Amino acid sequence: MEVDMNAMKAELGGAFVLSWAVFAMDLSTLTGAVALAVVWMAFGGAHVLPVVTWCHMLNDGDGDVDGNYMPNGMRLLAQAVGAVLAIVLATEAGAIETGWAATPFEMPETWALLGTIAAGAVWWQVHTRCDSAWASAFGLMVLGGMMTLTGAHEMGASLASAGDGIADVIPAWIVDGLLVGLGARIGAEIDNAI
């Protein structure tokens, strides 16, 4: 397996900047959308958010044809490392208490589950049809209430806290990503059928 080091550096840097920004803003706001668009432009080619990587994994993007999921698995790892580094910097290696606590994981109820899938379908169409980081970022801002946008930050916060809450963070990270990715896949299939 050949690792694209430039992609890994972009993921690490993008996740670092975004996680650092999470301390100051909510990503589902106008300010958060602008920050995300700027990060995507500055770190061209980086997914930055785990939900984006999951969408690529479930839509044969980035070399995942024939079941080769390693490049995107490495992206997820780089995102978590970037988030850990940002959290260590922002908290002065734990000297500043953030009050972060993992949200207890609960499987989404039917309507929330369907809403997350629908959000993934709609956002993936915006993301793949528009050549603009702005359109994609604003699409996420609009749909942010339906999907988790802070997956790498949550994973980084858990890792920086010596694994505190990891039993809640990992399933949420996987389930949210899979639901959004499944929605992206369904959206792509509907688009192909029309």
Please list the pLDDT of the chain residue by residue as tens digits (194 residues). 677 888 899 999 999 988 887 666 666 678 888 888 889 899 988 999 998 999 988 886 544 455 557 888 899 999 999 999 998 888 888 788 877 788 888 888 999 999 999 999 999 999 988 888 889 888 888 887 777 777 888 888 888 888 889 999 999 889 999 999 999 999 999 988 88
Tokens for 183?
A: 């929605």
Q: Judge residue 117's burial from the number of C-beta atoms within 10 Å of its C-beta, 0-12 exposed, 13-18 middle, 19 or more buried.
A: buried
Tokens for 139?
A: 């699409």
| pLDDT for 25 | 66
Q: Are 152 and 80 in contact (CB under 8 A)?
A: yes
Quote the DSSP letter at residue 67: G
**CATH topology (fold) of 5-193:** Glycerol uptake facilitator protein (1.20.1080)
| pLDDT for 157 | 86
Q: Are 127 and 183 in contact (CB under 8 A)?
A: no
> 144 — phi, psi (to 5°)?
-55, -30
Tokens for 120?
A: 């993934």
Is 0.75 surpassed by the pTM of this model? yes
